[in-house]
Amino acid sequence: MDNFTTFFNSGWHHIVDINAYDHLLFVMTLCAAFKLKEWKQILVIITAFTIGHSITLIISALGYIPDNPKVIDLLIPFTIMITAISNIKNYGKQGTFSNKNVKYIIALIFGLIHGLAFASNFKVMMFNSSVIKPLFAFNLGIEVGQLFIVAIFTAMLFVYTKLLKGEHLKWNIFVSGAGFGIAATIFIGALS
């Protein structure tokens, strides 16, 4: 397996691995406020998350970010809880997310934080190689993995809203509430 494939696979597994449920949870919570017709906004927000993730990996690969797993273990569930609250607080009366720019900023900034979870591993994987190609391959794997998760999530949303005729507001509240609850449990666990 070549270097590109190794980094791509690492990025893919970083997102779709069931043991990385915090990232899965973040992606699903991030997308919960969007309706099916807003699929373009979902793609933009997922890409914003990847860009934030990439920036952190670059800064880390250059040796500018100190590694503190305890802080990272607290920050990641905190980002999920804030995203869940934002989903419910900013949900407009017309049933759409009222300020999409807030969501993009949240995705970008929280992508920076989520990048910390893999930054030290990424640095070790690079050895002495150039940062550009490994970073591109890794983030391409992350983006493809996130799109895979979003496709599954969107299919579930389609079944709920189109086939079962469920209300999107209830979907948003359920997914955001579940995201908040699971993240709060992770956060409390990280405190001990």
Contact call for residues 84 and 29 (beta carbons, < 8 A): yes
Query: For position 145, which CATH number holds?
Result: 1.20.1250
At 4 the pLDDT is 87
pLDDT of 138 over the 90 cut: no
Identify the residue with better confidence: 39 or 101: 39
With H, G, I as helix, E, B as strand and everything else as coil, classify residue 128.
Answer: coil
Tens digits of residue pLDDT in 108-117: 999 989 888 7
What burial class does residue 112 get, using C-beta atoms within 10 Å of its C-beta: 0-12 exposed, 13-18 middle, 19+ buried? buried
Domain of residue 124, residue span: 3-191
Q: Which of 40-44, 123-127, 134-138, 185-189 has the highest mean pLDDT?
A: 185-189
Tens digits of residue pLDDT in 16-68: 888 878 888 999 999 998 899 988 989 999 999 989 988 888 887 777 776 77
| Number of neighbouring beta carbons within 10 Å of residue 142 | 29
**Cα separation, 56 vs 54, whole angstroms:** 5
Strand partners, 45: none
At 120 the pLDDT is 65
At 180 the pLDDT is 97
Counting the structural domains of the chain, the total is 1
Query: How far from chain centre, in Å, is Cα 150?
Result: 10
Percent residues over pLDDT 70 in the chain: 88
